[in-house]
Chain A
Amino acid sequence: AQSVSQHNHHVILSEAASLELGCNYSYGGTVNLFWYVQYPGQHLQLLLKYFSGDPLVKGIKGFEAEFIKSKFSFNLRKPSVQWSDTAEYFCAVNADDKIIFGKGTRLHILP
């Protein structure tokens, strides 16, 4: 069965630090990959997605993610975080039309 692993459950960074959140999935076929963000008290919203083509995907608010097929990974990155990036981040995989989420990473940015 497909699954998604997010290695970091809770990350604390200072403003301007660089960010990388890990995401690995298990599925042997073609996948679509997503990162969603949930700001405190708000709905889940899409940050970025990968369907095909360039494995380096740019999203909103300066986020990007790189799909590395050989490593079954889709790590999220941001070169310089801001206090407003404090949120919970979820990696998701669409495999056979079933969208599975990881357990999420709580990101706390210190001002």
Chain B
Amino acid sequence: GAGVSQSPSNKVTEKGKDVELRCDPISGHTALYWYRQSLGQGLEFLIYFQGNSAPDKSGLPSDRFSAERTGGSVSTLTIQRTQQEDSAVYLCASISIAGEKNHEQYFGPGTRLTVT
């Protein structure tokens, strides 16, 4: 089956504009994560969705960042009033929590965001 997909693959935006990044997880995966990957910073946890539970937003760096997951499937990460330090690759991962694949994350290709 299809893996995790993300769109757009690349996004260049001007400072101060809002952007929306989309993640389509693997069908049936109940958990979804967003990470930010910057050079030298590794993968920075942003937010985690699990089923119908309230999301864990503890990694969001500021109130300019928000995310939602509609219908337990597709997720959108929104960055308002983008700043140059928001430039990074934004990665989405989904997880199967059943069976031997328990908690193995499947990553999407990422969205490379450049704020000019």
Contacts and interface: CB of A to CB of B under 8 A. Distances in A.
Given A90-B43, A103-B41, A46 B102 contact: no
B48 A101 contact: no
A101 B102 contact: no
A100 B45 contact: yes
A101 B50 CA distance: 18
B107 A101 contact: no
Interface residues of B, number: 24
Interface residues of A, number: 22
Interface in A46-90: 46, 49, 51, 90
A103 B105 contact: no
Interface of A: 6, 9, 32, 34, 36, 43-46, 49, 51, 90, 92, 94, 97-104
